[in-house]
Structure 1
Amino acid sequence: MASPARSAPAARQRSQARAEGGGGRLGAALERPLWRALLGYRILTAGYAWVVFGLNYGAYEAQGRPGAGLGYLSLLSLWTLATLDRVSSARRCTAPFLVADMTLAIGGILFSRVADPAQEIGPTLPSIWTAGAVLAVAVRAGWRWSGVAAVLVGLAGIVEYGGPGRSTLHNAALVCVASIAIGYVVEVARASERALAEALRIEAATRERERLARDIHDGVLQVLALVQRRGSALGGEDAELGRLAGEQERALRSLITGAAGPAVPGPRTAPDAPDTPDTPDAPDAPDAAAVRPAEPAEPAELDLRALLAARAGERVIFSGPAGPLPLPAAAARELDAAVGAALDNVRTHTRNAAGVPARAWILLEDEPEAVLITVRDDGPGIAAGRLAAAEAEGRMGVSLSIRGRLRDLGGTADWISLPGQGTEVELSVPRAALRAAAGPAAPTDREGRTS
């Protein structure tokens, strides 16, 4: 059975990476435009407050205190410039900053009575800058806290005006509705982001389970099925071993298909098997990890033509390009394993008219847009509905070992079968998917094929 570390396809690795780290990146992408808009709003409205104050400066000199207004607007401008980085992300926009920001906004509304005691000049000193403070609460904390902040700003305006005037109530309602709407949209976006991250995590886990199921099918299940057949044929004690192998095969099929079934007893030790006594005085065995030779480095590419040509034999004929067909190592192994699963199906389940295992042909085509592999046999063909029935029975040769591998590589697997004319399996993987599996640094030839 192939090593899981080596047989894991690039698509599964990308899905797992998205599931593990995609949530934060997705969140930043969703919220970044809001923070940029809020930053621009604060700078523009700080300048607007200066423009309004300048236009009414003569009135402040005649019946107000222009010095108080100049002092507050200077403080407002310094605060706006000094806190530019605070409104760049949710992580930097902390609760203490929001409290200080709201304090400056509400304080500016109330301080307007000091600069304009007669309440006849115009808008408050911070003017519409106060809405930016409420919007910061909406983006950072959601619609509930933004509603509270909008109510506080509205109450401050009523106190500054001396009562619930028409313009005061209108401005308070406008800020309240806008902040609650934006806060609600932000919360919905964050909930969607979490749901997407969870879906990506489930997808990665499902693909990993399917990969393990393929490895089990290609190795353990086939060996157990072979032991069962050989044991039944030999009879005697070997028949009991074959029966146990058959039980374990059915249990594994039930496990990898997710079907619940009764517990199956494990294989029993043969009666004449001697117990291994404890030997404390014996010298310690050498550490397996210390004596195990180091595995050779994993090649970046493998020749798919060579892998498939090695499967040719007495009843399997291979035909392919004259030269090598290098592909990313993981993709080449997965395609070779899918072809091996198709050939196993031919050897195990297909007999021709003479009652002997059918012959099979492998055709490898190196096209500019895709790599195509065709596995054809001269058997009786597949009855309608047989593939779906085999999958329901827990036989994963088609659904996982072939179709699942091609899906993870970004390709497709199709079956063409006519009664009495054999079966043809067409495997296709686009070049674009192979380039993605190879990574951005993989060189390509003039036709765009991975080299």
Structure 2
Amino acid sequence: MGSTVRRERVVRMSVEQPLWRALMGYRVLTMLYAIGLFASAYEVYERPWVAIAYFAVLAVWTLATLPQVSGARRCTKRFLTADLTVAVVGILLSPVAGHERAVTGGSTLPSIWTAGAVLAWALKGGWRWAASASLFIGVANVIQRGDLSRSTLHNVLLVCIASIAIGYVVEVARASERTLARALEIEAATRERERLARDIHDSVLQVLAMVQRRGNALGGEAAEIGRMAGEQEVALRTLVAGGLSPASRASEDAALGAVVRAVDEPDRAGDPADADSAGPRDLRPLLAGHAGARVTFSEPGAPVLMPPAAARELAAAVSAALDNVRLHAGADAYAWILVEDDPDAVIVTVRDDGPGIPEGRLAQAEGEGRLGVAQSIRGRLRDIGGTAEWISVPGQGTEVELNVPKKK
């Protein structure tokens, strides 16, 4: 396998961040609204200087604390407590300012700005924090009014229900974000596992299978080595397929060196294709090496340019398809490779004259942990946005079509 490890980056999307931005705008607009209400009824206040002093503090506080309500991280408990205190003080100062309507049912000095303070608690801590903040606002309104009138109860319930609902939505959004992030992490880990499984199939499993066959043919001590290699092949197939079957300690020790060498040696040799990662790569040279006495290679006259990573994966899938031809159709089978460079896709067809694949055999092989089709071919094509299709008629050979769309 190549020495370069591809890493999946999980992008965490914040569903609640737009709510924080909306809260920033709400606080500024409601502050201006409260000041406008005061200015329009300035002459009816007995002590307008109390209201002016409060609005001066409210304006400075609202504008200075905008960064604190830009996100959950900066919105601390200390800030929330101070913010709620500003709202409660404004409610209690309303009758002190001498506005009769503040006592008889009109708006308080901060007016609907107080809802912004409660909403900040809801966004930060969820519906329980929202309920607690609403309780303080409700008590302050009752104290300021002097009794629990219908209008007072209506206003308190409205703020309470709205803030609790928003707090609950935020909690659900956060839970959804965590679930999505976990799902993306699992998907990234699964894709990496599939990539490793393909590389293992292309190297280690084939080496172990060859050792088993040659050992059984030679007999003697070689047969024992072949038996241990067979045990290790079964265990490794089960592992990459999702589980682990027990194998003897002796076979593990005997196969460990071969496994490590098969994995590490390509890393030390390096991937010659990596040097050409700066631009598109011609697919034809990557496939031309397969041509031989029993493999016919047909290519276009012009370069078939693809992204380097896609070209390598497609070439590896072709190699895996030819390995299947040699394994299942026999060493005497003929194979044909046809490369087509269409305007919308690169299509590589691998055809043989073997006995064909019985119906249902591919699904059965995948269930048995044999990953030549599931991972080395389909998995590689899926990773680069392509598809792999099999056409096989018993007694008439097999045709594999590898299709990789070109990115616009």
Q: Do both share a fold (TM > 0.5)?
A: yes
User: Which ranges in structure 1 are unaligned for 5 or more consecutive residues?
Assistant: 271-291, 433-447
1:168 aligns with 2:152: yes
Deviations 1:47-83 (A, max 9, x none): 11112112221211xxx21111111111111111111
1:242 corresponds, among 206, 215, 226, to 226
1:420 aligns with 2:399: no
Please report the RMSD computed on the Cα atoms of aligned residues, expressed in angstroms. Answer: 2.0
SS in 2 for 1:113: coil
Which range is displaced more, 74-83 or 172-181?
74-83
Counterparts of 1:241-390 in structure 2 under 5 Å? 241-267=225-251, 298-300=275-277, 301-351=280-330, 357-390=332-365
1:112 aligns with 2:94: yes
Deviation at residue 136 of structure 1 after TM alignment: 1.0
2:65 corresponds, among 83, 103, 108, to 83
Please give the alpha-carbon distance, in whole angstroms, between the structure 1 residues aligned to 2:130 and 2:340. Answer: 62
2:174 corresponds, among 172, 177, 190, to 190
* Conserved 8 A contact 1:251-1:264: no
SS in 2 for 1:114: coil
Paired position in structure 2 for 1:227: 211
Counterparts of 1:62-211 in structure 2 under 5 Å? 64-116=46-98, 118=100, 119-120=103-104, 122-211=106-195
1:43 aligns with 2:43: no
Deviation at residue 429 of structure 1 after TM alignment: 1.4
Deviation at residue 357 of structure 1 after TM alignment: 3.1
1:58 corresponds, among 14, 38, 43, to 43
Please give the alpha-carbon distance, in whole angstroms, between the structure 2 residues aligned to 1:392 and 1:415. Answer: 18
Deviation at residue 267 of structure 1 after TM alignment: 4.0
Paired position in structure 2 for 1:286: none
Please give the alpha-carbon distance, in whole angstroms, between the structure 2 residues aligned to 1:173 and 1:137. Answer: 16
Q: Give the AA of the match of 2:336.
A: W
Deviation at residue 31 of structure 1 after TM alignment: 2.1
SS in 1 for 2:394: coil
Paired position in structure 1 for 2:373: 398
Paired position in structure 1 for 2:264: none
TM-score, structure 1 as length reference: 0.82
1:17 aligns with 2:9: yes
Paired position in structure 1 for 2:17: 32
Please give the alpha-carbon distance, in whole angstroms, between the structure 2 residues aligned to 1:262 and 1:35. Answer: 54
* Conserved 8 A contact 2:283-2:311: yes
Taking structure 1 as reference, are residues 313 and 72 closer, same or farther at Cα in structure 2, changes over 3 Å only?
Answer: same
* Conserved 8 A contact 2:2-2:271: no
Deviations 1:324-347 (A, max 9, x none): 223222221111111111000000
Q: Give the AA of the match of 2:76.
A: T
* Conserved 8 A contact 2:299-2:340: yes
TM-score, structure 2 as length reference: 0.91
Over the matched positions of the two proteins, sequence identity in percent amounts to 61
Q: Give the AA of the match of 2:291.
A: A
Taking structure 1 as reference, are residues 128 and 193 closer, same or farther at Cα in structure 2, changes over 3 Å only?
Answer: same
Deviation at residue 218 of structure 1 after TM alignment: 0.4
Taking structure 1 as reference, are residues 309 and 383 closer, same or farther at Cα in structure 2, changes over 3 Å only?
Answer: same
Please give the alpha-carbon distance, in whole angstroms, between the structure 2 residues aligned to 1:268 and 1:334. Answer: 31
User: Which ranges in structure 2 are unaligned for 5 or more consecutive residues?
Assistant: 255-267
SS in 1 for 2:4: helix
Query: Displaced runs of 4+ in structure 1, greater than 6 A?
Result: 292-297
Q: Give the AA of the match of 1:378.
A: D
Please give the alpha-carbon distance, in whole angstroms, between the structure 2 residues aligned to 1:45 and 1:92. Answer: 22
Q: Give the AA of the match of 1:194.
A: R
